[in-house]
Structure 1
Amino acid sequence: MRSTLWFLLKLAILIAAAIWIADRPGHVSFDWLGWRVDTSVGVLLAALLLLMALAAVLYRLWHVIVRGPRRLSERRGERQRLKGYRALTQGMVAVAAGDAEEAKRQARIAHGLLKEPPLTLLLAAQAAQLSGDETAARRYFTAMLERPETAFLGMRGLLNQALAKGDTGEALKLASKAHEERPQAGWAAKALLDLELKQGEWISARRTAKAAEKLKVIDRERYRRIEGISYLEQARLEAEAVRATALARDAARLLPDFVPALAIEARVLARAGREREGEKILEKAWNRGLGHPTIASAYAAIRPNESALDRARRFEKLTHGRPDATESRLTLAETAIAAGLWGPARSSLEAVAATERSAPSLRLCRLMARLEEGEHGDLAAARRWLMAAADAPPDPAWVCNHCGATAGDWTARCGHCGEFDSLAWKEGARVVLALGGVAGETRSSEARFLPASPTSAAPAPAVAAAGDPKAETGAAPIDAARLIT
């Protein structure tokens, strides 16, 4: 509607101009090249308009003749680009659908039509990966490194290949370079952080974790835990006492209720000659309800050369704040058995047995077997307890949440799969692993921090002694279970 009105307006102006000129006829006369021309103003204007139109037509014709071939070439190139991008789109769809052959075919078409633009190289690399040709994929990713616009994508492709092959050294180099070039890329920061933690690069891991936290790749709580555990591992491995103590204190400040942090801090202080300070840390932790075999083991390691009797007395100080806790009673019973204090050991174990509603725990059965053999030399009773231990649920242990492997002590990285911060203290965890080709059950997490008592040897094997009337009766392990319940 608007264009029609504009056309009518221009037509009206043209008609008005023609009428205005017709109402005012004039005479024009001029000499040009020996010719004399006499005409009216209207005819002269019409002649000028005709000449202008003829000039425009001639210019158009010249433009077509001169620029025509280039125009045809541009149009042909445009059609090729459209076909190439169509092939590129279909190739991407084929990659998403998992059709390796179609993806490779479309990649070849796009490569021929588009002359290797960035997306063509990416499609070719993905098609090669989809078909399992990692060598060709690596070649394409390497070629992408030569182009500024595709170098970052090439690094990511090579990084993923290195991770798939398990080449953590190469992957760490690529992730570090990618993070350096694009500090705002969240995936690069996350990949670099994971690799640094697996490789034990604690100082650089803290810097990367801070960057990842700013990018919202990890939350604040995860950042604090990474920082604390990295300090903890540095403290555990640091040979210089002052430096190790400072690192351990930083770790305990960030992880105030983390049992391994408290244990390592106490061990580091003992190594620096500050044994009593380390003992106080563990005693306070135990009184706060953090009674744990790891705490008891660290408490024992502070004074490794003390006698069994002195150790039993010292552990009374550790458990003084929570004497009725199950872990306190089991720990006191173990130290008492090692020192030959049979009465206190039996009292502690019977108190634990009275509180256990289900079957006796593995640790309780083993301690009872040692007690029966050490106090009375009753091999039959010890045998019954060992038979009950065979059916008891396994003791808690440090178990990797990633691979299921168990560890005798906590470490920042799983000793089996290398995963960072994956060990968790699990109750009754029973995991079957194939290590070295032999299937084995998880070992008991019973603390082995106590010196052997000269009067209490290891429990006798579950074989009846010849001529032992108690053994010949073949007492069923149900007697032990009945005693417990």
Structure 2
Amino acid sequence: MIRILVFALFVLALAAGFAWLADRPGELSIIWQGQRADMSLMVAATLVVSLVAAVMFCWWLVRVVWTSPHSIQRYFRARKRDRGYQALSTGLIAAGAGDAVNARKMLTRTRGLISADQEPLIHLLEAQAAMIEGRYDDARKKFELMADDPETRELGLRGLYLEARRLGANEAARQYAERAAEKAPQLPWATEAALEYRSQAGDWDEALKLLGDGRSASPEDKKTYARRKAVLLTARASAKLDADPKGAREDAHQALKLDENFVPAGLIEAKAYLREDNLRKAASILEKLWKATAHGDVAKLYVRARSGDSAADRLKRAEKLEAMRPNNAEGLYAVAEAALETRDFALARAKAEAAARLSPRESAFLLLADIEDAESGDQGRIRHWMNQALKAPRDPAWTADGITSPEWRAVSPVNGRIDAFEWKTPVSPLEGPIEEGSTDAVDEAIRTLPPRAIEAKPAMRVEEVVKDVKKPVVVAAVVEPVAVKTVVPENAKVETAAAAEERPFHGLPDDPGVKEGVTEKREAATSFRLF
């Protein structure tokens, strides 16, 4: 565009000059070697311009002839380079698609058209072709060459890192990630990998230093940065809670500033205050977390904040939690546990049943079994609640990648991912159907439940049914996938699972047990005297 504008201005200036000469006519006489030439001024100007144009044309012609060999050579070189880049592009696409034959063919063609010194991507194509052909040693050597070249250093380090991860060489992968993060901190994969490795090693100071300040991040990245920094600060606070409660409290407080509803950070800060005998601040933090999250761990720590409290004091604190969040399963469960310790069985049963209705789970039904055992010792009712616990979902726990932990952790033990643990219901331990005819299935499943304070007597097996019973027999439905074979008379009334679900808290238990003296009476009624 600029060239066109300059050319137009030059033409306009030239036309203006000729117009100026045309308005001012004159004669020009030239005497050269005894010869005199007379002409007008316009003719003289035209001759001068024509002479300049002729000189420029001659110079261009001589220049074209002089540089034509180099131009021809450059043309063929550019054509060859274009063909090489086309082959390189086709080869990379073939390597990405897993076409080893075409990738190797394009690699050979590229080598004949382009030099590897001029285009480092040839090393990448060669490494990719070697990997899809299974020649991992050759690929690793190519990645090492690329890592030594400043132009392809990051690409080579990433290849070496992925190869080390594939082989399970975690220490080598860590070193490659650290090197890449040091040379190019803007690479997300390098920073992420180095951060995970430092977190797995428990080096929280270096992990926080690598995380940076997050000032140049986008708004979405700033949220991720704040969450991750809160996790790392909480992990560091947890590591030094025993040795340095004050430092742990400060780190947890900084984490709560970044995420005010982060339960692990609040628990650690409250524990630090409790170790400093500051019950008021600890209670204030736990109450704030309870109002926001109603977390089970918050309720446990709040109720048992002081080890010297009596059972009645713990009950008062649990009732205070329930008043903050009415109709909450965790609050009702905490009150039921505290009421059981005070031997207030009516209150404990009412709260436990309410908690089981709001959130059916193992601990609620097992608590009802505890209450029944402590109050009456009725083994039939105890087994009823144990069976309900077997059918109910498991209690929420800190879960990450299928692994549950009694306490929150910053890093997943499976893949090293940061902030992987979530408070949710874990997968049930009963996976897959149990073989038909396995009469010990229910007893074995009950034995795998979390340990409680009660010790139930050995339960009767389901197949132990007296055939000569005249009264109708009620058989409890067994939760799927447990399949149990049962012998039932023809006139027996079988209760379905749907009917059992309608009355989980009232009516006859699933297994009422055998009352004392029934066997002796039955033997006396069916015996005969011969003499």
Q: What's the TM-score, normalizing by structure 2?
A: 0.65
Could you say what the CA RMSD is over the residues aligned between the two structures, in angstroms?
Answer: 4.6
Match of 2:152 among 150, 155, 167: 150
Q: Deviations over 1:127-154 (max 9, x none)?
A: 2223333222111111112322222221
Q: Could you tell me which residue of structure 1 aligns to residue 423 of structure 2?
A: 425
Change in CA separation of 1:173 and 1:224 when aligned onto 2, cut-off 3 Å? same
Superposition deviation, residue 216 in structure 1: 3.7
> For residue 94 of structure 1, what is the amino acid of its counterpart?
A
Change in CA separation of 1:141 and 1:298 when aligned onto 2, cut-off 3 Å? same
Q: Could you tell me which residue of structure 2 aligns to residue 124 of structure 1?
A: 126
Percent pairwise identity: 29
> For residue 149 of structure 2, what is the amino acid of its counterpart?
R
Higher helix share: 1
Structure 2 residues without counterparts, runs of 5 or longer = 1-6, 19-27, 38-54, 433-443, 477-498, 507-531
Stretch deviating more after TM superposition (80-89 or 379-388) = 80-89
Q: Could you tell me which residue of structure 1 aligns to residue 163 of structure 2?
A: 161
Superposition deviation, residue 352 in structure 1: 3.5
Q: Is the 8 A contact 1:382 1:460 kept in 2?
A: no
Superposition deviation, residue 118 in structure 1: 0.6
> For residue 109 of structure 2, what is the amino acid of its counterpart?
I
Match of 2:332 among 323, 329, 345: 329
Change in CA separation of 1:245 and 1:299 when aligned onto 2, cut-off 3 Å? same
Q: Is the 8 A contact 2:399 2:426 kept in 1?
A: no
Match of 1:415 among 413, 416, 423: 413
Superposition deviation, residue 313 in structure 1: 2.3
CA distance in 2, matches of 1:150, 1:427: 47
> For residue 418 of structure 1, what is the amino acid of its counterpart?
G
Q: Is the 8 A contact 1:263 1:282 kept in 2?
A: yes
> For residue 364 of structure 2, what is the amino acid of its counterpart?
L
CA distance in 1, matches of 2:75, 2:500: 96
What's the secondary structure of 1:126's corresponding residue? helix
Change in CA separation of 1:193 and 1:246 when aligned onto 2, cut-off 3 Å? same
Asked if residue 268 in structure 1 is aligned to residue 268 in structure 2, the reply is no
Q: Is the 8 A contact 1:262 1:281 kept in 2?
A: yes
Q: Could you tell me which residue of structure 1 aligns to residue 524 of structure 2?
A: none
Structure 1 residues without counterparts, runs of 5 or longer = 14-22, 30-39, 41-51, 435-439
Superposition deviation, residue 166 in structure 1: 4.1
Q: Deviations over 1:299-318 (max 9, x none)?
A: 466445x47xx145224214
Superposition deviation, residue 76 in structure 1: 6.8
Q: Could you tell me which residue of structure 1 aligns to residue 505 of structure 2?
A: 484
CA distance in 1, matches of 2:363, 2:32: 129
Within a 5 Å distance, the mapping from 1:308-323 to structure 2 comes to 310-323=310-323
Q: Could you tell me which residue of structure 2 aligns to residue 371 of structure 1?
A: 371
CA distance in 1, matches of 2:431, 2:403: 7
Q: Is the 8 A contact 2:393 2:425 kept in 1?
A: no
Within a 5 Å distance, the mapping from 1:173-212 to structure 2 comes to 173-210=175-212
> For residue 367 of structure 1, what is the amino acid of its counterpart?
L
Superposition deviation, residue 378 in structure 1: 0.7
Q: Is the 8 A contact 1:383 1:463 kept in 2?
A: no
Change in CA separation of 1:422 and 1:78 when aligned onto 2, cut-off 3 Å? same
Q: Deviations over 1:197-226 (max 9, x none)?
A: 455443333344346662449622211111
Q: Could you tell me which residue of structure 1 aligns to residue 46 of structure 2?
A: none
CA distance in 1, matches of 2:343, 2:238: 34
What's the secondary structure of 1:419's corresponding residue? coil
Change in CA separation of 1:98 and 1:350 when aligned onto 2, cut-off 3 Å? closer
CA distance in 1, matches of 2:293, 2:503: 31
Q: Could you tell me which residue of structure 1 aligns to residue 95 of structure 2?
A: 95
Q: Could you tell me which residue of structure 2 aligns to residue 458 of structure 1?
A: 455
Q: Deviations over 1:158-178 (max 9, x none)?
A: 223233344443333333332
Q: Deviations over 1:370-393 (max 9, x none)?
A: 111111111111011112222223
Change in CA separation of 1:60 and 1:382 when aligned onto 2, cut-off 3 Å? closer
Q: Could you tell me which residue of structure 2 aligns to residue 389 of structure 1?
A: 389
CA distance in 2, matches of 1:159, 1:432: 39
> For residue 164 of structure 1, what is the amino acid of its counterpart?
R
Stretch deviating more after TM superposition (330-339 or 166-175) = 166-175
Q: Is the 8 A contact 1:385 1:480 kept in 2?
A: no
Change in CA separation of 1:205 and 1:197 when aligned onto 2, cut-off 3 Å? same
Q: Is the 8 A contact 1:395 1:444 kept in 2?
A: no
Q: Could you tell me which residue of structure 2 aligns to residue 140 of structure 1?
A: 142
Q: Is the 8 A contact 2:233 2:251 kept in 1?
A: yes
Higher relative contact order (CA 8 A, sep 6+): 1
Q: What's the TM-score, normalizing by structure 1?
A: 0.71
> For residue 273 of structure 2, what is the amino acid of its counterpart?
L
Superposition deviation, residue 180 in structure 1: 2.9
